[in-house]
Chain A
């Protein structure tokens, strides 16, 4: 059952007289409830791809459909988690989660309370963002997106700025949320371990032009353990594909 559908997505921008392909002919399907991770070297256009799906960038050729409908603008159906939490510094945690929805509405209040519990921030309802650590702030951002019951959650290297311990905690937390809420996820990262650990499917992108090089299905049950042989095998496989992409890039940039 396909939820998200990309058909021949191409994005170019002109650099002087030259036309540079940022994204070239990307087609993909994401099933309802799937956890898709996308990895690629920096500058391969993976963030651009995610912004296009979010509707934050509509300047491209091809079409993107969510639940069969073409995406024309940003909306709460496509929840977006940025690299930084981007909380409103003048609002407390609970007000940040509610944002434009009123906490006076009992339904909203109950939902917010539930989400605060889900992202394990009880006791911090009335704290300001300046009092939170990076991981906590990112959890508020996730709760804020989830409150709007998105059809799909798009995450743009959300844990990139966190230290290794916090990151692995956040990965667990995200998987818990995924299990609980069954939200479809598209997760962009440059960390191979993270991609294999989280995704049902890992997509490897190459750069200049940004295309999908290979998709690897990770057929491992959750919860996964990074130390098992099977996990390491998948990791090797993805790593191998990733290295091919990088070699290709070296060849390209050397002009051979």
Chain B
């Protein structure tokens, strides 16, 4: 009798849990749908205005036309190649600039002497807009890949540099006295205290650097190139192929967002110890 009740109780419990799970799934789907309401409405409205001929096709091609252009570029054009070139440029520039930025940030953060000699110069260089140095980079390095990668690297350098520096200097000084009492050596002080404490800032720097790398990529490709998504946009503009311009823009948007999400996944994994306001 007793056994029977527990069994049915368990059944009841698991049944309840299942129902709760299903409800949770439903609310998740509901939330997702909620997010889609506005974009879908805009797309429908956009398509309709095009069909009704309210807005000129050359200024604002319909979503369906953009989609078919995309398919067309993918199958008959060589969108994949252009995209690969762009991706390699962005990645190369980002890796070069980001690595140097991280290293410089670490060096300046750890050593006051290095800070005093290096930081003022770097801060001055930081204020120069990336777009302003394009002519110089072309004069120095030509129209080839080098000037493009260096331009992206220049953009990606500073967010990582500034945030790494900030992160290292923002370590709670009270934890340093703990490290003193526990007799941490310099190595343990860096690996157990300074780097983990600076990690939130370093990851933020990484995200910002990635964003800037995409931005600089577009600038670099617009300044003159014969390949890449940026070139595709420039080329299409000359022939008023607005739908191709849209395809390029959407590709930049999607991959910018994807790369950002990629870092955020890392962030969530590495910073699960953080005790912050979750919204």
Contact = CB atoms under 8 A, between A and B. Distances in A.
Interface of A: 54, 56, 73-76, 78-80, 82, 84, 86, 88-91, 99-100, 128-130, 144-145, 148
A100 B185 contact: yes
Nearest to B272: A128
Given A84-B174, A89-B275, A90-B196, A100 B181 contact: no
A82 B174 contact: yes
B193 interface: yes
Contact of A86 (B178, B199, B275): B178
Contact of B177 (A56, A91, A130, A148): A56
B274 interface: yes
Contacts of A91: 192, 196, 273
A75 B184 CA distance: 10
Nearest to B178: A86
Given A74-B180, A78-B181, A100 B273 contact: no
24 contacts: A56-B180, A56-B181, A73-B180, A76-B183, A80-B181, A82-B174, A82-B177, A86-B174, A86-B178, A88-B175, A88-B178, A88-B196, A89-B275, A90-B197, A91-B192, A99-B182, A100-B182, A100-B185, A100-B192, A128-B272, A128-B273, A129-B273, A145-B181, A148-B182
B183 A82 contact: no
Nearest to A76: B183
B182 A89 contact: no
Given A74-B181, A89-B275, A130-B275, 5 more contacts: A76-B181, A78-B181, A88-B193, A89-B273, A90-B197
A89 B274 contact: yes
Contacts, number: 60
Interface of B: 174-175, 177-178, 180-185, 188, 192-193, 196-197, 199, 272-275
Nearest to A147: B182
Nearest to B188: A100
B191 to A, nearest CB: 9
Main secondary structure of the interface of A (DSSP, over half): loop
Given A86-B175, A88-B175, A100-B188, A79 B181 contact: yes
Contacts of B273: 89-91, 128-130
Contacts of A84: 174
B261 to A, nearest CB: 23
Contacts of A130: 273-275
Q: Which of A56, A82, A89, A145 has the most CB of B within 10 A?
A: A89
Contacts of B188: 99-100
Nearest to B196: A90
A217 to B, nearest CB: 30
Contacts of A73: 180
Contacts of A56: 177, 180-181
B183 A75 contact: yes
A121 to B, nearest CB: 17
B82 to A, nearest CB: 42
A201 B184 CA distance: 33
